[in-house]
Structure 1
Amino acid sequence: MKFAIFGVGGTGGVIGGYLANAGNDVTFLARGAHLKAMQEKGLTIHTNHRGDIHIEPCKAVSADDYHETPDVLFICVKYYSLEAAIELTRRIAGPDTLVIPILNVFGTGAVMQEKLPDKTVLDGCIYVFAKRSGPGVIEQPQEILRVFYGFRPGQDSRLAEKAAELEKIMRAADIHAHFTDDIQRDALTKFSFVSPMGAACLYFGVTSEAFQENKEVRETFIGLVKEVEALGHAMGVTFDRDLVATDLRLMDAFAPGLTTSMQRDVAAGGPSEFSGLVSRIVTLGKKYHVPTPLYKKIDDWCKAHGLA
């Protein structure tokens, strides 16, 4: 298969890097110094569990200069860059292209599909802790790497055979991939972790160890998870696990000192995914008549402090 990766941060860099390292045809769509570094020196992923992964030569171009039709297009940008992703997909995706958005925000695939009715846009999510640390360099300090993707209920599944083959290719590349038959459940399960962590980290101004050591932070995190869980039930989602217990196990396995991408974006003074990770839950809570007092508290506080 031919892969295109739009967005080469922690998510796209790891997915594309692992696939390329296994010998797959991968083109990274990037820009600026990051693109130049990959073109000149390749892409390096620093990991604590398998050493360095170095991809050289590295196929990397700007999105504007990419004129192929990939078999699989992974969308790995931030939520605030979704319109650019939609325009790229409209231009390069063919009738047999699987488009898989891997964003932090729940329901991104459906948002894209509405604007791209002639494309096949799945939904997807990832469990990974990674970030770009410099031009051409990705840091992956935690071993966790799980990718879920699938068709939404009622969606045309003509490309299901290709989606199943993709699962095999990704697993052969040491990516724990799951072509799931309930992506809404699996994506919301993941969202129940990343959204509460992002909200609490930003509100308290803390790093990962605070969730293990600070009672107020930990209890707030648990409360946020429960609000997402209640929202899922109201939306008709049946979870296959205890979300609080699952998310606490993930949190307790983290090394100290880790921050979220939303924290880093806010600290840098740029746009963030706050609207998708926090405000969206408040809005959905109103729509489905589910109380979300903790999300509302953090939403109001962040907006009042100019952090949203």
Structure 2
Amino acid sequence: MSGIVIIGPGAIGSLLGARLFEHGHEVLLIARGKRLQALQRDGVVISESDTVRQVPVPVADRCDADNLPDQIIIATKTFQLPGALDLLEPYRDAEFGILTVQNGVEAPDIVQSRLPSARVLGSRMHGFFELEGQVVKHTGVPPSIQMGPVAAGFRDATHEQISRNLAEILQNSGIMAELVDDVRPALWEKFVMAATIGGVAPAFGLTVGQVSQHTGACSMLEGAMQEVAAIATAQGIALPKDCVARKMEFISRFPPDVTSSLQRDLEAQRPSEFAQLTGAIPRLAHRAGLTAPIAEEVIEMLRARELIID
């Protein structure tokens, strides 16, 4: 097929697929198990703006090896990335565009190493999305995405044109898309918060919304964020000088019952993105010639609460 394949129809993948399909684009969602059955039966069910609608986006359990899509969006959770790449093995030597929308900072490089001819973009998705049962819930701000290569500049003219085409498609489908020359600062700025709050809150047995009111947790969170910012700086990635202060202020405005997806997965003893978020901080620090003692303490606190699945 030509068009767009989306692997991982969770909240973000399903929302993107529905928006693209509603605006006339050829879309195929790749799903497995109960999610596949639900999509085949009901389509993508979306709750937003106080309304619920069903969008009959085509779905399958694998890619068509004989038909290369124009664009592929990988919207799985980060720990599911190897399985998603296995599905793309038939396209290993082909030239096409891939957009990664995973948390963490390593997904684009992992994808590029497995698919060396692909034109890979990383991205930072902004918005509040959650899959509740089989219903995609979107609340708050309109969805937006900042996307670009994980280097200063596109690989070549083909890479840039493929990227511009996808950005235009997303914009025309109601997704505010910004194409940048280097997406690493955006990835790391999100990582500063996602990798730290998702570990600190459950380490103390708090919700994310309660952390700012707890002196010890608040201090540990700020210190962990500073560690992540230092790792980015050591790699030549320029974050805003007030990055940590803005993240702390942002978290202070969360309602008391707010939790993060990582926290929910850890406390439910489900597979999680821990290894790519909180658990990645000491590894990335070591790679940069630094240490991350606060992150390591958070990890030990999570182990003490028996929240880490090794």
Question: Above 0.5 in TM-score?
Answer: yes
Q: 1:301 to 1:73 in 2, by over 3 A?
A: same
Q: How many residues align?
A: 305
- Contact 1:69/1:94 (8 A) holds in 2: no
Distance 1:248 1:144 in 2: 23
Distance 2:248 2:144 in 1: 17
Aligned match of 2:68: 69
| TM-score, normalised with respect to structure 2 | 0.88
Cα deviation, 1:40-75, whole Å, max 9, x if unaligned, reads 21112222xx33353432211112678642222111
Percent identity between the aligned chains?
25
Q: Structure 1 regions of 5+ residues with no counterpart?
A: none
Q: How far 1:174 sits from its partner (Å)? A: 2.4
**1:109-148 paired onto structure 2 within 5 Å:** 109-135=108-134, 137-143=135-141, 145-148=143-146
Q: 1:93 to 1:125 in 2, by over 3 A?
A: farther
Aligned match of 1:13: 14
Cα deviation, 1:179-220, whole Å, max 9, x if unaligned, reads 111211111111112111211222123323214433433333
Q: Which moved more, 1:204-213 or 1:9-18?
A: 204-213
**1:69-218 paired onto structure 2 within 5 Å:** 69-92=68-91, 95-135=94-134, 137-143=135-141, 145-153=143-151, 156-157=155-156, 158-218=158-218
Distance 2:124 2:217 in 1: 25
Query: Which 4+ runs in 1 deviate beyond 6 A?
Result: none
Q: 1:159 to 1:250 in 2, by over 3 A?
A: same
Letter of the 1:147 partner, please give it: I
Partner SS, residue 122 of structure 1: strand
- Contact 1:127/1:146 (8 A) holds in 2: yes
Q: 1:41 to 1:84 in 2, by over 3 A?
A: same
Distance 1:171 1:214 in 2: 41
Q: 1:174 to 1:254 in 2, by over 3 A?
A: farther
Partner SS, residue 103 of structure 2: coil
- Contact 1:100/1:121 (8 A) holds in 2: yes
| TM-score, normalised with respect to structure 1 | 0.89
The question of 1:219 aligning with 2:219 is answered yes
Q: Which moved more, 1:71-80 or 1:227-236?
A: 71-80
RMSD: 2.4
Partner SS, residue 45 of structure 2: strand
- Contact 2:21/2:27 (8 A) holds in 1: yes
Q: 1:81 to 1:51 in 2, by over 3 A?
A: same
Q: How far 1:222 sits from its partner (Å)? A: 2.0
Q: Structure 2 regions of 5+ residues with no counterpart?
A: none
Letter of the 1:203 partner, please give it: A
Aligned match of 2:259: 259
Q: 1:219 to 1:175 in 2, by over 3 A?
A: farther
Partner SS, residue 121 of structure 1: strand
Q: How far 1:108 sits from its partner (Å)? A: 0.9
Q: 1:106 to 1:12 in 2, by over 3 A?
A: same
Cα deviation, 1:253-303, whole Å, max 9, x if unaligned, reads 544423222222223322211111012110121222323222110122223
Q: 1:122 to 1:90 in 2, by over 3 A?
A: farther
Aligned match of 1:283: 283
Cα deviation, 1:14-56, whole Å, max 9, x if unaligned, reads 2223322333222111122222121121112222xx3335343
